[in-house]
Structure 1
Amino acid sequence: MRVIAWITEGTWPSCIDAARSHAPEAADIVLLHVTGPEAPGAAHGAFAGLLGRGHPERDPGTAVEHLATTSAERLLAEAAQRLGRPCKRVERTGRVEREVVAAAEGADLLILARDGGRNHLGPRSIGPASRFIVDHAPCPVLLVWPEAAPGVSSPSGSDRL
């Protein structure tokens, strides 16, 4: 069995806990982090458009790319430590939702956490990237709450379902 846990900055512990609980001991677990192109692209564009093109060695986009890589490596290392069992770490770059769907090809389970509004049940508890992933995943999806789920009788609960 191959299980992919999508690791994001705000919700990764819940995905790791779900993998520990739901993936059989013999499962191949892949911890996946995807870095979007937005921040490095903006820095590259600002440098090229506003600061000139004469000194590519001063392009801040390159530094932002290195920082993103370092941050992803650190996050994946923390997630692997929390998992406490052998796993593969994968870092991808691109449109987040498309990269996660592509990485899930051939997987038996994809684990991701809700990333929208966390104080009520319903469709707004899932952000746009996660909605795309849930709708297009080529395998079963386990969607977890990053913390305790709000109750059905919560003030913003069942009336918004």
Structure 2
Amino acid sequence: MTVIVWIVEGTWPACVDAARTHTPANADLVLLHVTGHEVPGAAHGAYAGLLGRARPDRDPGTAMEHLAAASAEQLLASAAKRLGRPCARQERSGSVEREVVAAAEGADLLILARDGDRTHLGPRSLGPAGRFIVDHAPCPVLLVWPETAPSTTTIPPHHRQPPQSPGHHPGR
């Protein structure tokens, strides 16, 4: 059994704990971190646009890429330590949600945490990346709350539409 555990700053402990709790001891666990290209790409572009390309050694985008890689390594190391069992570590870069979906190809399970509004139950508890991953994952998904789930009292009230009479045509 191969299990991919998506490691993201702020929510990774819940994903690691879910992997420990919900996967067999002999599962092949892969801790996955994806670094998006947005911030380093913007820094590269701003530097090139404002200052030209005369001094590529001073490009702040390159420094940001190095910082992101070091941060990802530290995050994966912390996650592996918390997991406390053998695992592989994988670092990818690119479109975050697409890289997570691609990494899950052939996996038996993908574990991820909610990345949206975590103060209420409901669809907004998934941000754009999480929603994309849940909708496109090529394997079963275990979706966890990074902290205690909100109460069921946070579910919006159910608003039923009154039944329409057979000859009723709204808007006429």
* TM more than 0.5: yes
Gaps of 5+ in 1: none
Name the counterpart of 1:34.
Answer: 34
Measured in 2, the distance between the counterparts of 1:24 and 1:51 equals 54
**Pairwise CA RMSD:** 1.2
Q: Which deviations, in whole Å up to 9, do the C-alpha atoms of 1:99-154 show, x marking residues without a partner?
A: 00000000000000001001100000000011000000000000000000011113
User: What is the distance in 2 between the residues matched to 1:50 and 1:91?
Assistant: 31
SS of residue matched to 2:81: helix
1:122 — aligned with what?
A: 122
When normalised by structure 2's length, the TM-score is 0.90
Counterpart in the other structure of 1:100? 100
User: What's the % identity of the aligned pairs?
Assistant: 75
* Ranges in structure 2 where 5+ consecutive residues have no aligned partner: 160-172
Distance 1:70 1:160 in 2: 47
Task: Determine whether 1:149 maps to 2:117.
Answer: no
Shift in CA distance, 79/160, structure 1 to aligned 2, threshold 3 Å = farther
**Deviation per residue, 1:49-104 (Å, 9 max, x gap):** 01121111111111000000000000000000000000000000000000000000
Task: Check conservation: 1:152, 1:158, Cα contact below 8 A.
Answer: no
> Partners of 1:145 and 1:43 in 2: how far apart?
33
2:157 corresponds in structure 1 to: 159
Give 1:47 shift.
0.4
Aligned length: 159
* Alignment partners' CA distance in 1, 2:136 and 2:158: 24
Amino acid at match of 2:22: H
- Return the letter of the residue paired with 2:157: D
- Cα distance change on mapping 1:2 and 1:153 into 2, 3 Å: same
3-state DSSP of counterpart to 1:4: strand
What SS does structure 2 have at the residue aligned with 1:135? helix
Structure 1 Cα separation of the partners of residues 78 and 152 of structure 2: 33
* CA deviation profile, 1:2-23 (whole Å, cap 9, x unmatched): 0000000010000000000011
Q: Shift of the alpha carbon at 1:159?
A: 2.6
Deviating beyond 4 angstroms after TM superposition, the runs of 4 or more aligned structure 1 residues are none
Tell me what 1:90 maps to: 90
Q: Aligned-pair distance for 1:160? A: 7.6
**Matched residue of 2:134: which SS?**
helix
- Whichever residue aligns with residue 137 of structure 2, its letter is A
Residue in structure 2 matched with residue 15 of structure 1 by the alignment: 15
